[in-house]
Amino acid sequence: MAESENIVAETAEKIFADLADAQTINHDKQGAWKAPLWQALTEAGLPLSWVPDDLGGSGASLAEGFSVLNVAGRHAIAVPLAETMLAGWLLTQARIASPEGEMTVVPASPKDRVTVNEDGSLSGRARGVPFAKDAKHFAVLASGSGGISIALVDAAKCRIESGIGLGGDHNDTVTLDKVQPVTTKSAPKGFDQTTLMLMGGVVRSLQIAGSLESMLDISVRYSNERVAFEKKISKFQAVQHNLARLAGESAAALAAATSAADTIANAKSFDNDAVFLEAAAAKIRCSEAAEKGSGIAHQVHGAIGFTNEHILHRYSLRALAWRDDFGSESYWAVELGKLVANRGADELWPLVASR
């Protein structure tokens, strides 16, 4: 998405350029950058991009929102923009209005479950919930005897065990112990936890792809500045070939993530093999690219990239951390492998070719 396809992504790009400069953020130990950035994003209606006007949002299309997330990944931003967008999207599925402020989704892993009790309260434990500590509300997917529900929950009513993830952002354990939600409604027919995980996986894929684009960019620039053995290191063939491989990983991640986003933006439902293939493959391929790509970016930077002072880790560690959210690549590979095996050998190519 090099060429901004839409005004929403352009707006996001401008806000990040003005208020989320990586160097500034990296040197600001107090976090003074955070409030003005969130305020600007909120004023532009970005956190609730995927919530229609009548439910309190700005009513952007899925495609527009996805391109915002790719841009957000390029800036590796450390505020819960993606999480609030995803939470707003989840609430919208059940026509629940979105409140103001930061949100995140519970659960954030395919393994964790929240249940609806007989009295309508919610119980469960969700690990690895991104930005739970920063969120005012949670959008919760829960199941009970009445089927699957979507609920808006006040974060203050939940127990939050604070944790910091690989990327340096909050990654917390949320426990709901008979919590009465603000609102609960039935999820639409066919919507289940897999749906949420697929959507969350595509969100993370776009962010990883964006961060890889930036890792490529700063690595190329650094190699053209840094002199060793009396020449720029970009002139060494070994370095050139490493950067060419990084470009390949970045390209693969971008292609897989944008293809999956395009599929979801144009799909009538999540309940088909094509959506599953696209979304699962994106998460798998982007996660693999995160490992290979960030490894090369660090190798090109040498020791300086391993310091807190340098911005590289803002991208590399987040890309690595995002692999774990909404199902790791190992998880999705098993699920995709089962799907392919179940369809049978002669149905594999028709599935691939249908995309």
Partner 1 sequence: MTAALRFDPIRLPEKCEQLRKEVRAFLAEEIAAGTFDPYAPNREDNDAPEFSRRVGAKGWLGMTWPKKYGGQERSFLERYVVTEEMRVANAPTRRFFVADRQSGPVLLKYAPEHIKMDILPRICRGEVCFAIGMSEPNSGSDLFAAKTRATKTDGGYLINGTKIWTSSAHIADYMIAIFRTSPPTKENRRHGLTQFLVKMKQPGIQVNPIGQITGQFEFNEVVFTDYFVPDDHVLGEVDGAWKQATSELAYERSGPERFLETYYVLTELVRAVGKNPDTRSAEGIGRLVAQVHTMRRMSVSVAGMLQAGKEPVVEASIVKDIGTVWEQQLPHRVRDLAAFVEETATNRETLEKQLDFAIKTAPKLTIQGGTTEVLRGIIARGLGLR
Q: How far apart are CA 63 and CA 113, in angstroms?
A: 29
Q: How far apart are CA 56 and CA 40, in angstroms?
A: 17
Please say which residue, 23 or 224, places its beta carbon nearer to partner 1: 224
Q: How far apart are CA 348 and CA 121, in angstroms?
A: 43
> Position of tokens 């969120």?
135
**What single DSSP character describes residue 145?**
T
Shortest distance, CB of residue 210 to partner 1, whole angstroms?
A: 11
Shortest distance, CB of residue 281 to partner 1, whole angstroms?
A: 4
Please say which residue, 121 or 234, places its beta carbon nearer to partner 1: 234
Shortest distance, CB of residue 347 to partner 1, whole angstroms?
A: 9
Q: How far apart are CA 233 and CA 248, in angstroms?
A: 20
Q: How far apart are CA 112 and CA 135, in angstroms?
A: 19
Shortest distance, CB of residue 319 to partner 1, whole angstroms?
A: 16
Please say which residue, 2 or 303, places its beta carbon nearer to partner 1: 2
Classified as helix, coil or strand, 115 is: strand
Nearest to 212 by CA among 95, 298, 91, 143: 298
Instruction: Dig out the tokens for 206 from the structure.
Output: 């776009």
Shortest distance, CB of residue 171 to partner 1, whole angstroms?
A: 24
Please say which residue, 7 or 274, places its beta carbon nearer to partner 1: 274
Cα distance between the two ends of the chain = 19
Please say which residue, 186 or 240, places its beta carbon nearer to partner 1: 240
Give me the residues that bind partner 1 (CB under 8 A), please.
2-3, 213, 216-217, 220-221, 223-224, 234-235, 237, 239-241, 243-245, 247-252, 254-256, 258-259, 261-263, 277-278, 280-282, 284-285, 288, 329-330, 332-338, 340-342, 344-346, 348-349, 352-353, 355
Given a contact cutoff of 8 angstroms between Cβ atoms, the answer to whether 248 and 285 are in contact is no
Please say which residue, 5 or 177, places its beta carbon nearer to partner 1: 5
Q: How far apart are CA 233 and CA 289, in angstroms?
A: 23
Shortest distance, CB of residue 121 to partner 1, whole angstroms?
A: 36
